[in-house]
Structure 1
Amino acid sequence: MRVLMVCLGNICRSPVAEGVLRARLASSTLAGRIEVDSAGTGDWHVGQPPDRRAIANAAGHGIDIGGLRARQLQASDYRDFDWLLCADRANLRDVRARAPHDARAQAALLLEWSGVEPQGEVPDPYTGGPAQFEHVFHLLDRAADGAIARLRHELNERGR
């Protein structure tokens, strides 16, 4: 199963979401069974590492995202992934609007999909400070817990 985390620029929320979920998966019974990546709906930061504040915040929690590089959502992502999990409603609208006719992936709000909060959104910390990055990390940490439970259930349903 393949999961793509999506935000606007792929330098704050989605790379942290990717890093947290990868770390959780590595220490779970799902290790090696789920692939995780991230992308942005915008192209402003393609090829750049995550925001230095996101890197520092994740590192403070033992998660290294410094090697990730921003990329933009591509048409092939709709065929290659099972889930496109969006940080907020604006990105979810964009993801759904861009879906090609042969899209296979389902798109959803990350916090809702993971059972953290109905219609919940991960706020963009880009214009904020350390407190905003810490808040986002804790939301994504909770989402990773919920994602593990949901992915485990989905794999069991599929008989994998």
Structure 2
Amino acid sequence: MAHVVLADRVAAAGLDDRVTVVSSGTGDWHIGNPMDRRAAALLSSEGYDPSAHRAQQVRATWFAECDVLLAMDSTNLADLRELAGAELEPDRVRLYGEFDPAEPGADVPDPYYGGDDGFGTVLAMVERTSGVLVDALGDLDLG
């Protein structure tokens, strides 16, 4: 959900020629699959297009290729930092929730095993945080 929303916001801000949004999991159990049908239905109902999204696993090359990697929760943050190794600047692997204006530093909960209302909660967090992230990107020299 965060990938779809953030990519939409990046495009709306006119930054999509300089900013590429990719997403992945740290595990390989969903590779190639579309997102959860409940997440896709909610995104569609809110005017987003989730149809192109497919699950993938984080690639080792991303630590060199990407300016920042955002983890959705503290467990994923620790996993990414371990995968990245000691050479990577710590600020390049960050918690997505650090940018949440309502709950700074919060983990984004995984709604997969809960009820449908959890997807709405996550979408609200993702939308408000994506706005802050895009504003921060707009302030950078992305030449």
TM-score by length of 1: 0.81
Following superposition, the deviation at residue 68 of structure 1 comes to 1.2
**Aligned equivalents of 1:53, 1:21: Cα separation in 2:** 18
**Aligned equivalents of 1:74, 1:27: Cα separation in 2:** 27
- The structure with more strand, counted as a fraction of residues: 1
Following superposition, the deviation at residue 101 of structure 1 comes to 5.8
Identical positions, percent: 37
* Corresponding residue of 1:106: 92
TM-score by length of 2: 0.90
- Pick which of 59-68 and 138-147 moved more: 59-68
The Cα offsets for residues 39-61 of structure 1, whole Å up to 9 and x where unpaired, read as 00111001111111111111111
**Aligned equivalents of 1:111, 1:143: Cα separation in 2:** 7
Tell me the C-alpha RMSD between the 2 structures. Answer: 1.8
Structure 2 residue identity aligned to 1:130: D
Determine if the alignment matches structure 1 residue 124 to structure 2 residue 110: yes
**Aligned equivalents of 2:85, 2:98: Cα separation in 1:** 24
Following superposition, the deviation at residue 100 of structure 1 comes to 4.2
Counterparts in 2 of 1:8-157, with a 5 A limit?
16-100=1-85, 103=88, 106-113=92-99, 115-155=101-141
The answer for unaligned runs of 5 or more in structure 2 is none
Structure 2 residue identity aligned to 1:154: L
The answer for unaligned runs of 5 or more in structure 1 is 1-15
* Corresponding residue of 1:6: none
- The answer to whether the 8 Å contact 1:19/1:64 transfers is yes
- The answer to whether the 8 Å contact 1:75/1:100 transfers is no
Structure 2 residue identity aligned to 1:40: G
- Pick which of 55-64 and 110-119 moved more: 110-119
**Aligned equivalents of 2:68, 2:18: Cα separation in 1:** 14
Length, aligned pairs only: 142
- The answer to whether the 8 Å contact 1:79/1:102 transfers is no
- The answer to whether the 8 Å contact 2:100/2:125 transfers is no
